[in-house]
Amino acid sequence: MMKLIKLELRRNNLKPYLWGSLGIFIFTVAMGVFFSALPLIDPNDPSAKMMSDFTMSSSPVSIIVMSSYAILGTVMHSKFIVEEYTGRKNVLLFTYPQKRSQILLAKYTLTFVFTIAALILSNVVALLLVNLIGNVTGLITKPINIDSVANALLLSMILGFIANLISTIALRVGFLKKSIIWTLVTAIILVSLFGNSVTLSSNFVLPIFFAVGTVLMVICLILFIGLLKKVNKMECL
């Protein structure tokens, strides 16, 4: 399996996705600084305080980061899986004497690991940077502690997982319709639905995250097993 993942790394150009992650990181820092300035406008508004803390799952920054990585993961799935299996390149993939399901799993794992790792790194570094900028400019008075970093780490893992679940559903729809546009549109609809449901129910965010996450995980598992079977039986017409 590791060998197949290494081969995927060799034959796919990851540079555009690294640039994409860098873009999301810069955006995260900018949003973090912007939202940390909100309590200065109205110090008595509790929602401004909540928004300024982007280690909280309901903060707009968290939702935007999760949505961005869900879209990034979907673009990677579109390029590595939908395009390759539904285009002319499938003849090449299907003539390797390797289990088709393992090649697919290697492609999926690459995107899964990349998305989670990039999200965690970007979020934690952004948290540190926003705090540094906040302290220097006086926007943030409370110093960062180990709990905030641990929270950011945990939240990033959960967000990364949910981003991957969303992109997996989008992948399956795109594969079914043999269309990259369908893949991306599905991801955009799902992140909009998820983002809205989380921000509308900010009082119950953690239970909602777990409930939605569990439902999504079951759906994804069923869809992914279906995808493995489909690829195994695919013909090159």
> Cα separation of 59 and 93, whole Å?
42
**Candidate list 99, 142, 178, 229; residue touching other proteins; CB under 8 A:** 99
Name the burial class of residue 211, with classes exposed (0-12), middle (13-18) and buried (19+) by CB atoms within 10 angstroms of its CB: exposed
Is position 211 an interface residue for other proteins (rule: CB under 8 A)? no
Residue 1 found at the interface with other proteins (CB under 8 A): no
Q: Shortest gap between Cβ of 137 and other proteins (angstroms)?
A: 43
DSSP reduced 3-state for 13:
coil
Is residue 94 near other proteins by the rule CB under 8 A?
yes
Handedness of CA 10, 83, 17, 72 (dihedral sign): negative
Q: Which residues are CB-neighbours of 73 under 8 A, at least 6 positions away?
A: 111, 112, 114, 115, 163, 164, 166, 167
Burial class from Cβ neighbours inside 10 Å (0-12, 13-18, 19+) for residue 189 reads middle
Residue with Cβ nearer other proteins (87 or 207): 87
By the rule CB under 8 A, 236 interacts with other proteins: yes
For the window 32-71, what string marks contact with other proteins as x by the rule CB under 8 A?
Answer: ----------------------------------------
> Using the rule CB under 8 A, which residue among 1, 41, 46, 95 binds other proteins?
95
Identity of the residue, 26 or 236, whose beta carbon is nearer to other proteins in the bound complex: 236
* Spatial separation of the C-alpha atoms in residues 65 and 73, rounded to whole Å: 12
Indicate which single residue of 1, 2, 46, 88 sits in contact with other proteins (rule: CB under 8 A): 88
- In the bound state with other proteins, the residue whose beta carbon lies nearer, of 13 and 141, is 13
- Regarding 182 and contact with other proteins (CB under 8 A), the answer is no
Residue of 2, 13, 46, 136 that binds other proteins (CB under 8 A)? 13
CB 36 within 8 A of CB 49: no
Size of the site for other proteins (CB under 8 A): 19
Tell me if 65 sits within 8 A of 119, measured CB to CB. Answer: yes
Query: Going by C-beta distance under 8 Å and a sequence separation of 6 or more, which residues neighbour residue 63?
Result: 195, 198, 199
Which position among 5, 7, 153, 217 is part of the footprint of other proteins (CB under 8 A)? 7
Q: Which helix (H) or strand (E) holds 68?
A: helix 60-77
Indicate whether 3 belongs to the interface with other proteins (CB under 8 A).
Answer: yes
In the complex, the residues that contact other proteins under the rule CB under 8 A are: 3, 7, 10-11, 13, 88-89, 91-92, 94-99, 233, 235-237
